Amino acid sequence: MTRKLALWLLWAGFIAYIVFLAPPLHLDETLALLKNIFTFNWAAINPIILSLFSLVGIWLLIYSGLLFIDGRMQRIAFWPFAIASVGSGVLGLLPYLALREPNQQFSGQKDAFLNLLDSRLYGIILTLSTVVLLTYGFAFGDWGDYVQQFQSDRFINGMSLAFCLFYLLFPTVVGDDMARRRFPNAQVFLAVVFVPLLGSVAYLCLRPPLMLSTIREQSLIANQ
């Protein structure tokens, strides 16, 4: 109950911050930025902003790799919250994290979609994409311009804080995923928790496939 209350308070607090405390929203500039992103006019965008926007998407894909599987065993499905997260980021994700129950089991067969999310290739693609985006942002970005936009623009400010929240919230779900796969390695857990973003994508590459864990568990039960 304490965990659920803390997540709901965080959700409400972040909304209150965006509405009442964040810098002003410059709608025309935000729409121009989004237009440049989706029309591939990337030369007009500070590489840090472009990388940050893309890395928020990477975070959503990382959570999808865990929570679509988790949602199979919950009373609520994850997919409505995934759709909401596409438009609202962490604000769409937090209600699912608050409503879900801790769960370390998985039953049934994986369909093609879950097989994709559970595959090592999925983690490798996200890892390579993350490294490219981080390198691009750090190597070519204008940090002075980013700081100025963070302090003066609500969209950039909120997106930056959402990125941080994705990182801080990841431990609330990765522990269950490790246990679901019989992967209770404390050192790996700490690496995932304390290495921002790179630890999370590395976990998707290193975790054993869910089906192998399920088969192994069934074999142990049958031999008892």
Tokens 């985006």 sit on residue: 133
- Structural domain harbouring 167: 2-14+45-223
Q: Is residue 168 part of a domain?
A: yes
Q: Of the candidates 177, 52, 44, which has an alpha carbon nearest to the alpha carbon of residue 105?
A: 177
Q: Is residue 169 part of a domain?
A: yes
Q: Is residue 101 part of a domain?
A: yes
Q: Is residue 30 part of a domain?
A: no
**CA 133 – CA 17 distance, rounded (Å):** 28
| Residue 139 contacts residue 35 (beta carbons within 8 Å) | no
Tens digit of each residue's pLDDT (9 = 90 or more) over 7-65: 999 999 999 999 999 999 999 999 999 999 999 999 999 999 999 999 999 999 999 99
**CA 6 – CA 12 distance, rounded (Å):** 10
Q: How many Å separate Cα 140 from the centre of its chain?
A: 24
Structural domains of the chain, count: 1
Q: Is residue 28 part of a domain?
A: no
Tens digit of each residue's pLDDT (9 = 90 or more) over 153-210: 999 999 999 999 999 999 999 989 988 888 767 788 888 888 899 999 999 998 888 8
> What is the reported pTM?
0.91
Tens digit of each residue's pLDDT (9 = 90 or more) over 60-114: 999 999 999 999 889 999 999 999 999 999 999 999 999 999 988 888 788 899 9
Tens digit of each residue's pLDDT (9 = 90 or more) over 209-223: 886 555 445 544 444
Q: Is residue 33 part of a domain?
A: no
